[in-house]
Amino acid sequence: MYLLAICLPEPTSSILIDARVKLKKQGKNFHACCPFHNEKTPLFTVNGEKQFYHCFGCGAHGNAIDFLMNYDKLEFVETVEELAAMHNLEVPYEAGNGPSQIERHQRQNLYQLLDGLNAFYQQSLMQPAADPARQYLAKRGLSSEVITRFAIGYAPPGWDNVLKRFGGNQENRQSLIDAGMLVTNDQGRSYDRFRERVMFPIRDKRGRVIGFGGRVLGDALPKYLNSPETDIFHKGRQLYGLYEAAAG
């Protein structure tokens, strides 16, 4: 189904690992405390020339693909696609298998859009109009640290805050619909799905925002509202807070 190896430039392993674990160069190798077990002595070694890593403490070892799979908790296919994207390489698929280039581009646009929406909701929580939302969170015992860690935000009242801010043209409006952030009524008019709600971003295991859960303020129903199923959000596969818990 997928090509089992990618021809990568020589420094890939050290650059990729250094972006996640701070490495110190010693001679030809790089060293750090192992990210896969607790240690105080840097027994984790990366050989840039041979493109592999090894921990003399716990025995963890492998190449760039192995590291991404274990550190970022990715499946093999996701790892290959991630490495290919880093170097502007195309992943060869067998006919009929794998997403098309257009589909991959559309998914990437959804990730970027939801990340922007998450930032908008976080900013909205800091506005004077969001005082009821902040009071609700305080009553629930959520500290500012927890609010920041889980990137909790607020969808302000109004039917078109998101539509006006992120749906400037037909293509952008369609992206909002594809992301589950707009609802279209029988008359063909679109409006914001989330309104006057405390917003909780739902992330995948890589930390990307893929959907939202919203808790209404007041007595409106439903009390809790989640994003619908989309190309990147599948409710049965996601567990809220799993990424944050794994990140510590």
- Give tens-digit pLDDT for 150-179: 999 999 999 999 999 999 899 999 999 999
> What pairing do the DSSP bridges indicate for beta strands 153-155 and 197-203?
antiparallel
Which residues belong to CATH 3.90.980.10 in the chain?
Answer: 101-247
CATH 3.20.20.140 fits 12-87, yes or no: no
CB 185 within 8 A of CB 191: yes
Closest CA to 53 of 22, 75, 32: 32
Residues 114 and 111: their CA atoms lie apart, in Å, by 5
Ranges under pLDDT 70 in the chain:
1-11, 90-102, 104, 246-248
Name the superfamily (CATH) of residues 101-247.
DNA primase, catalytic core, N-terminal domain (3.90.980.10)
CB 6 within 8 A of CB 45: no
Task: Give the per-residue pLDDT at 74.
Answer: 80
Tracing tokens 């050989």 back to the chain, one arrives at: 47
Residue 118 backbone dihedrals phi, psi, to 5 degrees: -60, -40
**For residue 120, how many C-alpha atoms fall within 13 Å in the half-sphere facing its CB?**
17
Task: Give the per-residue pLDDT at 97.
Answer: 55
Which residues belong to CATH 3.90.580.10 in the chain?
Answer: 12-87
Task: Give the per-residue pLDDT at 102.
Answer: 62
